[in-house]
Structure 1
Amino acid sequence: MKLSELQSHIKEFDYAPDLPEHYFLKLVEEVGELSESIRSGKGGQPDLEDLKGSIAEELYDVLYYVCALANIYDVNLEQTHDLKEILNKVKYNR
């Protein structure tokens, strides 16, 4: 799935443009949970029964709320990635 497809998928069922602070606070919460998972060392690609509390699950949750916030602020993350890559090539001489 492309990032734009994920954004569209999330927007279909979770889009509340009047609650950006809610999505931001959820993002911060998920980053905290990701930190806990990293400390626990629950890395690698888990199967369904091992997904709960894994780094993979928490990374997805962070990505989910990043996409939700991007939707609220009308940001196309794929397009932003392309633009940021141009800047980074200059900045980091890549």
Structure 2
Amino acid sequence: MEKNITMKELQHYIKDKDYKPELKNAYFQKLIEEVGELSEVLRKDKRLEQQGTIKGTIEEELYDVLYYVISLANVYDIDLEKCFHLKEEINKEKYK
């Protein structure tokens, strides 16, 4: 059984494995690249269940986008859980 992890745990995991503040621009460029790849698999509707592997699927590209969003948050020392709560308060007020 796979363990559920929090956003904070995921941020720490990625920071431990890949943290290079001097590469902020490279992380951003990779994010843009991965969004493009996500667009392609969305258009083709490639899913994990259909492929039998995560490679080349919406699931894979969503993870890659998330990875680089988290990498950018890490190099800017941003706590995404805190951002989530702050932004949700704004959204609750805005969209009631």
TM-score greater than 0.5 by the shorter chain: yes
Please give the alpha-carbon distance, in whole angstroms, between the structure 1 residues aligned to 2:67 and 2:93: 30
Amino acid at match of 1:4: K
With over 3 angstroms needed to count, the CA separation of the structure-2 counterparts of 1:14 and 1:47, relative to structure 1, is farther
Q: Which residue of 1 is the match for residue 8 of structure 2? A: 4
Structure 2, unaligned runs of 5 or more = none
What RMSD, in angstroms, separates the aligned Cα atoms of the two structures? 1.6
Q: Does residue 83 in structure 1 map to residue 72 in structure 2?
A: no
Amino acid at match of 1:6: L
TM-score (norm: length of structure 1): 0.92
Amino acid at match of 1:73: Y
With over 3 angstroms needed to count, the CA separation of the structure-2 counterparts of 1:47 and 1:10, relative to structure 1, is farther
Amino acid at match of 1:2: T
Q: Which residue of 1 is the match for residue 39 of structure 2? A: 35
2:51–2:57: 8 Å Cα contact kept in structure 1?
A: no
Q: Which residue of 1 is the match for residue 77 of structure 2? A: 74
1:46–1:56: 8 Å Cα contact kept in structure 2?
A: no
Amino acid at match of 1:58: E
**Identical-residue share of aligned pairs (%):** 54
State the shift of 1:47 in Å.
Answer: 8.7
With over 3 angstroms needed to count, the CA separation of the structure-2 counterparts of 1:48 and 1:42, relative to structure 1, is closer
Amino acid at match of 1:65: Y
Cα displacement string for residues 56-80 of structure 1 (whole angstroms, at most 9, x for unaligned residues): 0000000000000000001000110
State the shift of 1:46 in Å.
Answer: 3.8
